[in-house]
């Protein structure tokens, strides 16, 4: 779906497409049925140089641009989107360290981990209290003489069955006083219990166990960023994860289009005509196709939601090389988007009731995905799929 790619971007796209067609296609059913982490896929992905590609080279990755992540992620996801997610999870999970860690932390928790083909997971969500409302988390980290003691339960931890390092968001207490949210790098070890994979109806090879932390002691050098300084790290991390998720969701839509068109061409309906010749089918396909075509351009142009993604594209100079067509003024576009989303989801607007963003501190500042979801076809996917709001 990307019209203008540099030779490097095209090489990554082709590499990902070939991997998807050979390795993912061969194994996808097996891991869906077994409901477990796709080991064989990951071995092959490591060998093919397709793992951790956006992590900076000095910390064991390939240092590619965000645009390459988007292009390659889309190709993988057209064949098997859950596998694409499992292959990308280290990028998002390690963001707190890449954003706010010291050089020593980056070397120990990122470079050493990747050198031994290891995995990290990010632990934000909690049962009962904290999913989209992360300010309500109950996991706590108490200051001790030599570090921190962490206690709490996290759920839906992506790649959690396989990971050996957990980036845990916790409420910090110093001398019994609440000191705000902080991130901790917690190795799998004593006091950390990982449940079996949850039994989802989709995305089954993306393991999402619950993880309990029972008085887990970590030294102070496992704290990422300032005490109480997690909010900005979290926002940057969620930006990054959302951006990475968008092409995967786009890939689901592209894959669905690729699958459905041959069926529509061959399926005969009354009076003995291929289904694809029916005008309402053509309208639906055309609508979906035009959304899919426009989506990468929206992402490139800094469409919602990724402030960080936008910054990265600006830094890479992609906006200049893409020569985008003129766009409608932002105000007009946002009004249209919000109207569309409200219509599709039948949400009350601020004028009709208590607007959602006002109740939602984090998202109020940062774009509530319920009102400003992923751009383009992600909105389609969201209607069918999304409990996952990042
Ligand atoms: C495949 C998968 C992988 C995941 N991986 C991870 C992971 O690696 N780490 C991790 O920490 N978590 C992970 N999660 C959890 C994910 O972050 C949460 O599911 C998400 O944040 C939503 O939380 P929730 O499911 O508790 O929904 P809730 O917060 O209970 O929301 C339920 C619904 O209510 C809506 N809603 C929320 N607030 C409001 C409001 N104020 N007004 C009106 N409507 C509202 C939401 O949009 C949503 O549709 C994963 C989830 C999935 C499905």
Separation of alpha carbons 16 and 247, rounded Å = 13
User: Which atom, in ligand 1's list, is nearest to the CA of 82?
Assistant: 1
76 with 53, same domain: the answer is: yes
Question: Is residue 219 assigned to a domain?
Answer: yes
172 with 292, same domain: the answer is: no
pLDDT at 377 over 50: no
Angle at alpha carbon of residue 318, lines to 313 and 320, rounded to 5°: 120
Ligand 1 centroid to residue 221 C-alpha, Å: 30
Question: Is residue 355 assigned to a domain?
Answer: yes
Give the per-residue pLDDT at 194.
98
Picking from 210, 231, 252, the residue at the C-terminal end of a domain is: 231
Q: Which residue has the higher pLDDT, 307 or 100?
A: 100
How far is residue 97 CA from its own chain's centroid? 17
Q: Which residue has the higher pLDDT, 258 or 330?
A: 258
Give the per-residue pLDDT at 311.
40
Give the per-residue pLDDT at 299.
54
**Cβ of 390 less than 6 Å from ligand 1:** yes
346 with 325, same domain: the answer is: yes
Q: Which residue has the higher pLDDT, 309 or 298?
A: 298
246 with 281, same domain: the answer is: yes
Please give the torsion angle defined by the CA atoms of residues 186, 191, 195 and 197, in that order, rounded to the nearest 10 degrees.
20
Question: Is residue 108 assigned to a domain?
Answer: no
Lowest mean pLDDT among 2-6, 31-35, 186-190: 2-6
CATH of the domain at 21: 1.10.540.10
- Confidence band for 290, pLDDT divided at 50, 70 and 90: confident
CATH of the domain at 134: 2.40.110.10
- Residues in Cβ contact with 291 at an 8 Å cutoff, skipping those fewer than 6 apart: 253, 376, 377, 379, 380
Picking from 180, 207, 231, the residue at the C-terminal end of a domain is: 231
- Which residue among 81, 156, 184 is best mutated to probe the pocket of ligand 1, counting the most ligand atoms within 8 A of its Cβ? 156
172 with 206, same domain: the answer is: yes
CATH of the domain at 289: 1.20.140
pLDDT at 318 over 90: no
User: Which atom, in ligand 1's list, is nearest to the CA of 89?
Assistant: 8
Look up residue 216 and give its two tokens.
């887990």
Question: Is residue 362 assigned to a domain?
Answer: yes
217 with 141, same domain: the answer is: yes
pLDDT at 300 over 70: no
Ligand 1 centroid to residue 113 C-alpha, Å: 28
**Cβ of 125 less than 6 Å from ligand 1:** yes
Lowest mean pLDDT among 21-35, 246-260, 307-321, 327-341: 307-321
**Cβ of 389 less than 6 Å from ligand 1:** yes
**Cβ of 167 less than 6 Å from ligand 1:** no
User: Which atom, in ligand 1's list, is nearest to the CA of 159?
Assistant: 8
Range of the domain at 283: 233-389
138 with 198, same domain: the answer is: yes
Give the per-residue pLDDT at 385.
34
Going by alpha carbons, the residue nearest to atom 3 of ligand 1 is 158
256 with 208, same domain: the answer is: no
The residue ranges of DSSP E strands in the chain, in sequence order, are: 120-123, 140-144, 147-154, 165-174, 177-187, 192-194, 211-219, 223-224, 268-269, 273-274
First to last CA, the chain: 23
**Percent of the chain residues topping a pLDDT of 90:** 66
Query: What is the per-residue pLDDT across 163-200, written as a single tens digit (0 to 9) for each?
Result: 999 999 999 999 999 999 999 999 999 999 999 999 99
**Cβ of 85 less than 6 Å from ligand 1:** no
**Cβ of 254 less than 6 Å from ligand 1:** no
168 with 95, same domain: the answer is: no
Ligand 1 centroid to residue 115 C-alpha, Å: 32
Give the per-residue pLDDT at 8.
96
Question: Is residue 106 assigned to a domain?
Answer: no
| Mean pLDDT, the chain, integer | 81
195 with 340, same domain: the answer is: no
Q: How many domains does the chain have?
A: 3
50 with 158, same domain: the answer is: no
Q: By 3-state DSSP, what share of the chain in percent is helix, strand and coil, each rounded to 5? A: 50, 15, 35
Question: Is residue 113 assigned to a domain?
Answer: no
Picking from 231, 261, 286, the residue at the C-terminal end of a domain is: 231
């Amino acid at each position: 779906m990307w019209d203008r790619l540099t030779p490097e971007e095209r090489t990554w796209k082709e590499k990902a497409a070939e991997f998807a067609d050979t390795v993912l296609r061969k194994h996808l059913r097996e891991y869906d049925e077994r409901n477990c982490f796709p080991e064989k896929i990951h071995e092959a992905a490591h060998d093919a140089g397709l793992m951790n590609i956006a992590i900076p080279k000095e910390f064991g990755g390939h240092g590619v641009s965000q645009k390459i992540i988007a292009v390659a992620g889309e190709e993988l996801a057209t064949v098997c989107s859950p596998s694409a997610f499992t292959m990308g999870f280290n990028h998002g999970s390690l963001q707190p360290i890449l954003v706010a860690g010291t050089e020593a932390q980056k070397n120990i928790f990122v470079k050493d981990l990747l050198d031994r083909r290891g995995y990290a997971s990010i632990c934000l969500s909690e049962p009962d209290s904290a999913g989209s409302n992360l300010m309500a988390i109950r996991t706590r980290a108490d200051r001790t003489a030599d570090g921190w003691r962490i206690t709490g339960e996290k759920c839906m931890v992506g790649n959690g069955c396989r990971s050996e390092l957990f980036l845990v968001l916790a409420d910090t207490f110093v001398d019994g006083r609440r000191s705000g949210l902080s991130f901790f790098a917690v190795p799998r070890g004593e006091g950390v219990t990982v449940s079996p994979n949850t039994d989802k109806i989709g995305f089954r090879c993306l393991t999402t166990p619950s993880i309990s932390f029972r008085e887990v002691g970590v030294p102070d050098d496992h704290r990422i960023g300032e005490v109480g300084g997690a909010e900005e790290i979290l926002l940057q991390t969620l930006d990054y994860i959302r951006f990475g998720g968008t092409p995967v969701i786009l890939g689901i839509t592209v894959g669905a289009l690729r699958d459905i068109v041959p069926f529509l061409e061959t399926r005969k309906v009354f009076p003995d005509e291929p289904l694809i010749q029916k005008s309402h089918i053509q309208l639906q396909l055309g609508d979906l196709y035009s959304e899919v075509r426009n989506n990468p351009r929206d992402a490139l142009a800094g469409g919602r939601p990724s402030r960080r993604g936008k910054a990265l594209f600006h830094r890479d100079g992609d906006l200049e090389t893409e020569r985008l067509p003129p766009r409608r003024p932002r105000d007009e576009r946002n009004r249209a988007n919000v109207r569309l989303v409200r219509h599709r989801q039948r949400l009350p607007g601020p004028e009709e009731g208590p607007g959602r963003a006002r109740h939602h501190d984090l998202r109020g500042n940062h774009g509530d995905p319920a009102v400003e979801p992923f751009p383009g076809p992600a909105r389609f996917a969201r209607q069918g799929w999304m409990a996952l709001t990042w």
